Amino acid sequence: MPRVSAHRIKGLAAVLGVAVGVSALLGAQDAKIDPSQADKITARIVAELIERAHLSKPEIDDEVSARWFEKYLESLDRGKLFFTKADIAEFEPFKDQLDDQIRRGDLSFAQLVFERFLTRLDERFAVINELLDQGFDFEADETYIDDPEAQEYPADAAEAKERWRKELKYQLLVQMLGDTEYEDAVKRLKVRYKDNLYRYFHQFEALELMEYYLTALSQSVDPHSEYMGWKNLEDMMNQQLQLSLEGIGASLAIEDGLPKVMEVIPGGAAAKDGRLKAEDKILGVETEDGEDVDFFEKKISDVVRVIRGPRGTKVRLIVQPAGTKNRETYEITREKIELADQHAKGEVIEAKAEDGTPVKIG
């Protein structure tokens, strides 16, 4: 399935860290999918930095272009459930041209593929709901292939529909084997595909498309490197490196178009306040002048940015407590939250060697 979590640098990232800085300077605007001139400059600089500063000193040539081509398609359609053979045939002439395009700052291939993906996403999403409404024959003896490498892209919409029928049937069986009732499993899948697939990609911005496209480039050279845009860089610097953030201390996820509280972090501002609970939905926030900012169908990253803020400041959350239709307003004072679980930890274990000699193991 497509990724829904933010990109993170995994390995040799010195060159990409510089490239991210360029993105932060040039691309810090909420442009839509049509890349700006700054995005094109950023892409060109990223390619130059990879060649000049990466440890392996790679040359972005036709061979890299071919790997980049495959990785970008895979990043959007890892399971070969969306694109058709005709789509891939249409993209194929670009396979050895991406290296030349990026030197010109040309991002047209990224746009072409993503726009086609959105078209196929709309078609497949309609099929997903149709199939889930129709039901499945769990007595039929049939084979499900879960390895995308073992199959080709579907020939047409009919073959794609059949592939989705088996995919959904498999997903339902997995949930039902975990003691989930069939009706609940269907509801969960509908919510998952609507929130984590349909809404996720339809809310894409140019910055996120750049992350997918340039990460495919960086990983075609080094599988442990990723490209990160300025928003994710900021989150990583605050959270992963400093192991702290400033806000209310709650983790959120989107469900049915609204942010839902997954966990209230112990010791955080929300936990100390005591009113906000797991499973509550946050409908929005109330501004200082009394206006409501609605969170319905907002991206989770944008919701988090509104709720977070400097310690000592207040945020007024408009909350629907779990299991109710009530609308409550909770004013919570933001605090610094230490992510203690993510800190490095050490322990010395007293043990004995085979000859009985005491030893200490770190």
pLDDT digits (tens, 9 = 90+) for 255-273: 888 899 999 988 889 999 9
Domain end point (choices 170, 201, 233): 233
Do 111 and 255 share a domain, yes or no? no
Q: How far apart are CA 127 and CA 326, in angstroms?
A: 35
- Is 3 a member of any domain? no
- Is 361 a member of any domain? no
Do 222 and 256 share a domain, yes or no? no
- Residue 286's domain is classified under what CATH number? 2.30.42.10
Could you list the residue range(s) of the whole structural domain that residue 225 is in? 14-233
Question: Tens of pLDDT along 64-98?
Answer: 999 999 999 999 999 999 999 999 999 999 999 99
Domain end point (choices 182, 202, 233): 233
Q: From 187, 306, 319, select the one nearest 264 (Cα to Cα).
A: 319
Over range 308-328, report the average pLDDT. 93
CA 25-47-204 angle, to 5 degrees, is: 60
Q: How far apart are CA 291 and CA 275, in angstroms?
A: 22
Do 76 and 186 share a domain, yes or no? yes
- Is 97 a member of any domain? yes
- Is 22 a member of any domain? yes
Q: If you average pLDDT over every residue of the chain, what do you get?
A: 85
Residue 332 above 60 pLDDT?
yes
Q: How far apart are CA 104 and CA 209, in angstroms?
A: 18
- Is 209 a member of any domain? yes
Do 188 and 123 share a domain, yes or no? yes
Give residue 233's pLDDT band: very low, low, confident or very high (50, 70, 90). confident
Provide the pLDDT for residue 341.
Answer: 55
Do 35 and 135 share a domain, yes or no? yes
Residue 150 above 60 pLDDT?
yes
Domain end point (choices 204, 233, 262): 233
Please give the residue that has the higher pLDDT: either 47 or 305: 47
Domain count of the chain? 2
Of 63-77, 95-109, 288-302, minimum mean pLDDT range: 288-302
Do 212 and 291 share a domain, yes or no? no
Please give the residue that has the higher pLDDT: either 352 or 79: 79
Of 224-228, 313-317, 321-325, minimum mean pLDDT range: 224-228
SS3 per-residue string spanning the chain: CCCCCCCCCCCCCHHHHHHHHHHHHHCCCCCCCCCCHHHHHHHHHHHHHHHHHCCCCCCCCHHHHHHHHHHHHHHHCCCCCCCCHHHHHHHHHHCCCHHHHHHCCCCHHHHHHHHHHHHHHHHHHHHHHHHHHHCCCCCCCCCCCCCHHHCCCCCCHHHHHHHHHHHHHHHHHHHHHCCCCHHHHHHHHHHHHHHHHHHHHHCCCHHHHHHHHHHHHHHHHCCCCCCCCHHHHHHHHHHHHCCEEEECCEEEEEECCEEEEEEECCCCHHHHHCCCCCCCEEEEEECCCCCEEECCCCCHHHHHHHHCCCCCCEEEEEEECCCCCCCEEEEEECEEEECHHHCCCCCCEEEECCCCCEEEEC
Do 333 and 202 share a domain, yes or no? no
- Is 138 a member of any domain? yes
Do 283 and 306 share a domain, yes or no? yes
Across 233-251, b (16+ Cβ under 10 Å) vs e yields bebbeeeeeeeebbbbbbe
Do 218 and 255 share a domain, yes or no? no
What number of other Cβ atoms are within 10 A of residue 277's Cβ? 14
Q: What proportion of the chain, given as a percentage, has pLDDT over 70?
A: 86
- Is 347 a member of any domain? no
Provide the pLDDT for residue 46.
Answer: 93
Q: From 102, 122, 123, 118, select the one nearest 41 (Cα to Cα).
A: 102
Q: How far apart are CA 127 and CA 167, in angstroms?
A: 12
Cβ-contact 2, 76 below 8 angstroms = yes
Please give the residue that has the higher pLDDT: either 2 or 350: 350
Residue 194 above 70 pLDDT?
yes
Please give the residue that has the higher pLDDT: either 332 or 239: 332
Which amino acid makes up residue 139? E
Q: What proportion of the chain, given as a percentage, has pLDDT over 90?
A: 58
Provide the pLDDT for residue 281.
Answer: 95
- Is 345 a member of any domain? no
Do 32 and 128 share a domain, yes or no? yes
Do 30 and 178 share a domain, yes or no? yes
User: Directed axis angle between helix 108-134 and helix 182-193, to 10°?
Assistant: 160
Provide the pLDDT for residue 265.
Answer: 87
Provide the pLDDT for residue 29.
Answer: 37
Do 151 and 274 share a domain, yes or no? no
